[in-house]
Amino acid sequence: MRCGTLAWGLAGLLGVSQVHAAVTVYNQIPYGASASSSAAGAGKTANAYADSVQLTAPALPNPLPPTTFDLTLGTNNNSQNGLSIPIPGSFYGFSIEMSVVNQVVGKNASLLQVPFLNLMSLLTVRGGGVHIRVGGNTQETATMVSSLPNGTILAKAEVANDTTQTPALLISPEMMYMMANVSTLVDGVKWYLGIPMNDTSNLRLQIAEVGEQILGDNILGFQVGNEPDLYGGHQFGGRPLDYSTQDYFTEFGTVMTAINNDAQITVKKNIVGPSVTGTWTPEMVFDTGYLTAYASNLGFIAVEKYPNDNCGVEFPSAGDPVKDPQTEFPSYLNHTSGLSIISAFVNGSQTAKNLGLPMLMFETNTASCGGFPGISDSFGSALWALDYGLTMAAADFSGALLHVSGASVYYNPFTAPPTNQSKFHEWTISPIFYSTLVTAETLGPTNTAQVVDLQANSGNIFTPAYAIYENGVPARVALFNFMTDPSGANTYTATIQITGATLASVQVKYLTAPSVAEKTNITWAGQGFGGPFESDGRLQGTEDVQTIQCSNNVCSVPVPAPAFALVFLSDTAFSEVNPAASAIPTFSTTTGKPGAAAATINPSVLATSNGQGGANGQIMLGSTSQSSTSGAGMLAVPWLSAVLAMAFGAAMVGRRMAL
C-alpha cells in the first residue's frame, strides 16, 4: 500500500501546553466538517463516515446468469474434492494502524471504547476469537518510552526523514495494558504487534519485550518489516531506490539475531514475514534462502494487498491518475476480484501449507489511499469482502485483517465520533464490518471448517457459492448474488442436496440491502447497526431466520439481487454460531463531560488497572495513508469518561508491570 502520514507535533502531549486534569479544553468540530484548514482532496471529506455520496448500482450483466442451478455436495470431506485446510472462525480480524489505536480501542487501560468491546464480543461468540494487529506503516518509526503524561498511550513527534512523511511515534506500555484489558474483558481477542525496522543499525525491540511481558499468551506474533518491497520506491529509512530482496534478507537477519539474543523475548518462533505486497512475490523473497535461514523464527507467512488505490485524488501532484469511483465500482462486484487479488500469492500459500505455517493476508481492504467514496462504504463492499475472504480461505489462507485507520478513510469497518458526545450510540459501523460478522458465522468456532469454491452456476462470476464442511461433514453453504434488480427478475434459486443424506429443512440467514450502492439500510437476518452515529456496537432489531422446507432431500434456496445467503444444513451448524442474546457478553457505559458530575472508573471492574489519565487526552484524527498530508490534524478534545460494566459481572484483571 502506498502510505504516508501526517506530521503532528508533540504540543499538548509532552509539556508544550499541558492541560491540567481539572481544566476542560474543547476544540470541537461538527460532524462532516474538516478537522484542518486544509482542504481534503477532491471527491473526499475529512470525516469520511459523514459523506453521504452514494453511487449508482452497475447495470445488469449481459448475458444474464441463469436463475436456477443445482449444487450437490459430497457426503463427507473424503468425498468432496477441493476442500481447504481447516480454517479458524477468527479468519477475519482487523489491522489497526498503530497511530490511531487510541481512537479505536481506548484512551488508555482505564478508558476503553465500549462499542469496540461490543463489536469484538459479537465476533468472538460466533467465530471463537478475533485477531487484531496493531502496526502498519507507523510501526516502522515507533519507539517505546517508559511513560507519557496523563496516561497517554501514544504521541506523534516530528516527521521522520523519509519521503513517506511517516511520523516518529512514541508509545508507552500503557498501550499494551489497554490491549491486555480488552483481552480480559472479551475472551478470544488476541494481538499481533509491529516492530520497527526503519533503522537496523539501531534496533528498538522494546515493543516486543514489553508486549510479551504484559500480553503473555494474548500475543500471537510480532511483525518485522511492513511492506519491505515498497522500501526502495519510498526510500523509506534512507534506503536506496534499488533496495532488493537480498537487502531485505540481510536486514531481517539482523533483527532475528537480536531477537534470538534477547533474553527478555522468550518466544522466538512467532515472527510474521515477509509481508510483501506483490511488487515482490513471496517466491522472490523465498529464493534468497529466507525460509531456511529463519525457520526457527518464522511463525507466520504474511502478505499485504489492496486491489486498487485512490492515490490520484489524494496526491494530485504525484501524477497518479484520478479514478472515478462509479467506473471502478463494477470491478468489486464479481467473483473475479478475489481471485485476482490472491493470484500472486497462491503459490506462497501452498508453500506455507507445506511448512505447516499459517498464511495470512496481514493488511487489506477495498483500496489504499483512503478507499473510494461510494464503494468502500457501500453494501457492495460487504459482498466483496465476504467473497474475497472465502476465496482466500478456499486457497488455504488462515486469516485476513481488514485495515482500520483515521477518520478521513472510507474503508474503516467502524469509526468512533471525534467530538465529545452526550449520547453513547454514536459510533458508525460501516457495511464492510458485516462481512466479518457473517464470515465468523460461516466458518464457526470449531477451527475445523474446510471451504470449497463450488464453481456454481457454471462458474458464473455474479453468483459464486461455497460449501463449508465442519468436523468432516457439510455444515453450511454460502450463496452470493452481486447483481441489483429490485424487480425480482434476477433473484435466483439454488437447489442444494447432499449425496446420500436426508435434508428435511434448512435454516437461512440473509445479508440484504436494496442495492449494492446502499450505505445504511443493511441487515443481517433482520438486524443491523443503524446509520452514522447510531451504534454502540450491539445489533439492533429482531432477528429473522428463514426456515425452508426441502422436498425429496433437495432444498431450494432463493437469493435476491443483491444479497448473501448463509444456509445452515444442520441444527448444530446453526446453534453453534447463533447464541442466545443472553449468552453474548455486552458492555454498557455512562458518560460525562469533564467538570460535570463525576464519572468514575468502577474499581471492581478495573481492579488492577493503572487508573491514570484524568479526563483530558488527545484524539489523533486522520489517515495513515498518503491522503493525510492534507487531512486532519491533532485535536485537543476531552475523552469520554466511561464506567465500564460487564453485563455478566466479570472484572478486569489486567496487571501492571513495574517499569
Residue 32: per-residue pLDDT: 25
What mean pLDDT is predicted for residues 557-577?
A: 98
- Mean pLDDT over 202-217 rounds to 97
Mean pLDDT computed over every residue of the chain: 83
Average pLDDT over residues 77-81: 97
In a domain, 125, yes or no: yes
pLDDT value of position 613: 28
**6-15, 166-175, 279-288, 588-597: which has the highest mean pLDDT?**
279-288
Residue 39 clears pLDDT 60, i.e. is over it? no
If one counts the domains in the chain, the total is 1
- Nine cell digits for residue 129: 476469537
Q: For residues 427 and 537, what is the distance between their CA atoms, to the nearest angstrom?
A: 7
627 falls within a domain: no
Residue 217 reports pLDDT greater than 60 = yes
Q: Helices 379-394 and 431-443 meet at what angle, rounded to 10?
A: 30
The band of 290, judged by pLDDT with boundaries at 50, 70 and 90, is: very high
Report whether 131 contacts 401 (CB < 8 A). Answer: yes
Does some domain include residue 517? yes
Whole-number pLDDT of residue 419: 57
Per-residue confidence (pLDDT) for residue 222, from 0 to 100: 98
Report the greatest alpha carbon distance in the chain: 76
SS in 3 state form for 139-181?
A: HHHEEECCCCHHHCCEEEEEECCCCCCCEEEEECCHHHHHHHH
Residue 623: pLDDT band (50, 70, 90) is: very low
Say what the pLDDT of residue 159 is.
Answer: 55
* Confidence label for 552 from pLDDT (cuts 50, 70 and 90): very high
Q: For residue 87, is it within any domain?
A: yes
The three cell numbers of residue 288 are 534468497
In a domain? residue 91: yes
Average pLDDT over residues 129-153: 94
**Quick check: is 616 in a domain?**
no
Alpha carbons 324 and 331: distance in angstroms, whole number: 12
Dist. CA 250–CA 288, nearest whole Å = 10
User: How far apart, in whole angstroms, are the C-alpha atoms of residue 429 and residue 88?
Assistant: 24
Query: How far is residue 87's CA from residue 358's CA, in Å, rounded to a whole number?
Result: 10
Give the pLDDT score at 589.
Answer: 57
- Per the structure, the complete domain to which residue 109 belongs is given by 52-581
Q: What is the pLDDT of residue 425?
A: 67
245: left (phi over 0), alpha (psi -120 to 50) or beta: alpha
- Which of 186-200, 305-319, 328-342, 602-616 is the least confident region? 602-616
3-class secondary structure, 658? coil
Q: Is residue 614 over pLDDT 50?
A: no
Span 76-82, mean pLDDT?
98
Overall average pLDDT of the 406-435 stretch: 84
Name the residue with higher pLDDT: 345 or 625: 345
Contact, 149 vs 14, CB < 8 A? yes
What does pTM read for this prediction? 0.85
Q: Which residue would you say has higher pLDDT here, 654 or 152? A: 152
At 146, which CATH number?
3.20.20.80
| Residue 41, pLDDT score | 36
State the pLDDT at residue 418: 72
Q: Is the pLDDT of residue 47 over 90?
A: no
Taking residues 417-434, what's their average pLDDT?
77
Task: Specify the pLDDT at position 575.
Answer: 97
Tell me whether residue 273 is in a domain. yes
Categorize the per-residue pLDDT at 219 as very low, low, confident or very high, splitting at 50, 70 and 90: very high
pLDDT band at 49 (very low <50, low <70, confident <90, very high): confident
**Cα 71 from Cα 497, distance rounded (Å):** 6
Percent of the chain with pLDDT over 90: 73
**178 lies in a domain?**
yes
| Chain segment 163-205, per-residue pLDDT in tens | 445 558 999 999 999 999 999 999 999 999 999 999 999 999 9
pLDDT at 582: 86
- DSSP three-state, residue 286: helix
Q: How confident is the model at residue 601 (pLDDT cuts 50, 70, 90)?
A: very low
**Distance separating alpha carbons of residues 141 and 158, to the nearest angstrom:** 11
Q: How far apart are CA 244 and CA 228, in angstroms?
A: 9
Q: What's the average model confidence in pLDDT over 143-152? A: 92
Per residue in 391-406, pLDDT (tens digit) is 999 999 999 999 999 8
Region of residue 532 (phi > 0: left; psi between -120 and 50: alpha; otherwise: beta)? beta
pLDDT score recorded for residue 236? 85
Residue 614: phi, psi to the nearest 5? 60, -155
